[in-house]
Structure 1
Amino acid sequence: MSTPQDWGAEQVRERWPVPPSDADKYSRGVVGVVAGSDAYPGAAALVVSGAIRAGAGMVRYVGPARAQDLVLSHRPECVVHDPGDAAESLPRAQAWVVGPGVADHPIQDAAIGAVMASGLPMVVDAGALEEVARSRASGSRDAPSDRVLLTPHAEELMRTLEALRHDATILDIAADRAGHARLLAETARATVLLKGARTLIASPGGHVLELPSAPPWLATAGSGDVLAGIAGALLAAGLTAADAGACAAWAHARAAESANRGGPVAALDVAQALPHVIAALLGSPSRPSSE
């Protein structure tokens, strides 16, 4: 097994997608999002905000009416779709984010199933982790391992491993975070982003990346939804799952610092700081958004 490889600004700068002069919204990457629910509509708005602020050319949201309304109130440029329609005919996208805030919505679950069957790149979080991991572990792998990014925190990693019949406690995972992330990556044949103070990216085959420490203020509700949206935008732009996850985690942490250095931040603050962070990374400083 390899020693975790550090990942920083230089690696992110080399990989971050910059649109050429002749770009259009489709060439920059269309992100589909199946997230949120009547119980947790905010997750939908946060994923969409993360994707748009990270540079997606277009975002399509699939979910219930309450979440659609919240998404449009925050990001009117987003295109919304009924989950029943999406399950029958998946909207055009280059990558998908599925699972954040999804709760007991059979039609929305059917839309997630359609994404899984499409073979398109996808970021998988929260409510979709166990289903996608079980499906891939059983041999249903329409998308290759380097185009699927699972994004659990430690408790979700524990539950997902349990669903795959690998017993591990939170203490076990804390004692060997890289080893358990590798285990999920190998079993599900997918890339794994294990969230934490130092995010890890594990790929099948044992390769692991380790991100710099994130501000502890980033441990706040909804921040993982923003992270999923950033990663989705990068997958849609053509990055591999490992590069998309590592670049997203780096930008996510730096946006938290930019939003309120040394102090508390809310998830939406992180999304709003992303354009400034990306511009500074690429050498074109801009003023932070005041929206």
Structure 2
Amino acid sequence: MPSRSEEKVITPQVLRDWPLPDPQGDKLARGTVLVIGGSRFTPGAVLLAGVAALRAGAGRLQLAVTESTATALSIAVPEAKVVGLPETKRGSVAGEVPEHLLELAAEADVLAIGSGLDDIEEIQKLLHKVLDVAGKDAAVVFDAYALGALSKDQELLQDRPQPVVLTPNVTEAQHLLGREPSDDLAKEALELATRYQATVSLYGHIAAPDGRAWREESGDAGLGTSGSGDVRSGIVAGLLGRGAEPAQAACWASFAHAVSGQRLAPRYGRTGFLARELVDEVAYTIATV
């Protein structure tokens, strides 16, 4: 497994030599991203991920959240189609998947699942049903509680054709590994990539299942703020929508996320900016690489 010294450092020049696809045509050419997440109490996580996907270049956005929050979210994000999902008495998205969600999942180019979800057992049921209907070429991003569900059901992705990107934080990596991560996060990222046959973006360390590895060094403490991870997973989804391969999307997203924070620091300090403000910097950061 590669050590930290064997990772390729992500720099603007590295990204320029690995240019993002530049789709021509209408919005469908830049992909349809479906974000599934939220609870009665956390629809904002889906808003952050969804708008970040648009800022990263996705052409069409669809959001699926609890029925009780769908109307408010549709007003907050007028660019998106928003559908409501059944919810439990505690306000979580229920594993009972309605037909209209399955129809969207079957047609989506990218599915981003996890932002704002909060019930692992219900998520497991939902994931099986949604992944069963997803197109074989559709990319899938797992974040937050979707990663927790995967850690409880490690065969969930087995024999599935869809390319997958996992975006864990260190705590989520611990659940996926089944042990405390070591200080060598490059090694841990590659172990996860190999175990789950997915691209992994872990705290600035990106690993592909074929053994390639990268490191992003621009991130600072301010990125550790509420909602920041939802923004990062949304950027990944948006880049996948416009045609990037999984490792490319993860590397560009890690850089865009980190440098967007750098751009905000002069105005708000190292730790004073909000995740919603990160979103507003994403398109400019990507465009100026």
Bucket of the pairwise TM-score, normalised by the shorter protein: 0.7 to 0.9
Residue matched to 2:261: 256
Does the Cα contact within 8 Å between 1:200 and 1:208 map onto a contact in 2? yes
TM-score, normalised on structure 1?
0.83
CA-CA distance at 1:18 after TM superposition = 2.8
CA-CA distance at 1:139 after TM superposition = 6.5
Residue matched to 1:64: 66
Per-residue deviation, residues 160-217 of structure 1 (Å, max 9, x unmatched): 112xxxxx22xxx24221111111111111111102xxx0011123321111231211
Q: Alignment length, in residue pairs?
A: 266
Percent identity, aligned pairs only, is: 29
Per-residue deviation, residues 118-171 of structure 1 (Å, max 9, x unmatched): 232111011111434565647623135xx2100101110001112xxxxx22xx
Q: Does 1:115 align with 2:138?
A: no
Per-residue deviation, residues 89-121 of structure 1 (Å, max 9, x unmatched): 334211110011112387765543333222321
CA distance in 2, matches of 1:189, 1:256: 30
CA distance in 1, matches of 2:157, 2:46: 30
CA distance in 2, matches of 1:153, 1:106: 20
Read off the aligned partner of 2:192 and give its amino acid letter: L
TM-score, normalised on structure 2?
0.84
CA-CA distance at 1:75 after TM superposition = 1.7
CA distance in 1, matches of 2:197, 2:72: 35
Does the Cα contact within 8 Å between 1:231 and 1:244 map onto a contact in 2? yes
CA distance in 1, matches of 2:54, 2:248: 18
Residue matched to 2:168: 152
Pair 188,200 (structure 1): closer, same or farther in 2 beyond 3 Å: same
Residue matched to 2:55: 53
Per-residue deviation, residues 205-261 of structure 1 (Å, max 9, x unmatched): 332111123121111010010111110011122212111011011011111222343
Per-residue deviation, residues 62-110 of structure 1 (Å, max 9, x unmatched): 1113442343233201011233234443342111100111123877655
CA distance in 1, matches of 2:246, 2:153: 18
Q: Does 1:95 align with 2:110?
A: yes
Does the Cα contact within 8 Å between 1:45 and 1:67 map onto a contact in 2? no
Q: Does 1:278 align with 2:274?
A: no
Pair 240,134 (structure 1): closer, same or farther in 2 beyond 3 Å: farther
Q: Does 1:17 align with 2:21?
A: yes
Range 39-48 or range 8-17, more displaced: 8-17
Q: Which runs of 4+ in 1 moved over 6 A?
A: 105-108
Q: Does 1:141 align with 2:143?
A: no
Q: Does 1:32 align with 2:44?
A: no
Residue matched to 2:183: 175
Read off the aligned partner of 2:117 and give its amino acid letter: V
Read off the aligned partner of 1:153 and give its amino acid letter: N
CA distance in 2, matches of 1:157, 1:86: 32
Among residues 75, 99, 115, which one is paired with 1:85 in the alignment? 99
SS at match of 2:46: helix
CA-CA distance at 1:50 after TM superposition = 0.7
CA distance in 2, matches of 1:276, 1:87: 32
RMSD: 2.2
CA distance in 1, matches of 2:219, 2:120: 33
Does the Cα contact within 8 Å between 1:37 and 1:105 map onto a contact in 2? no
SS at match of 2:28: coil
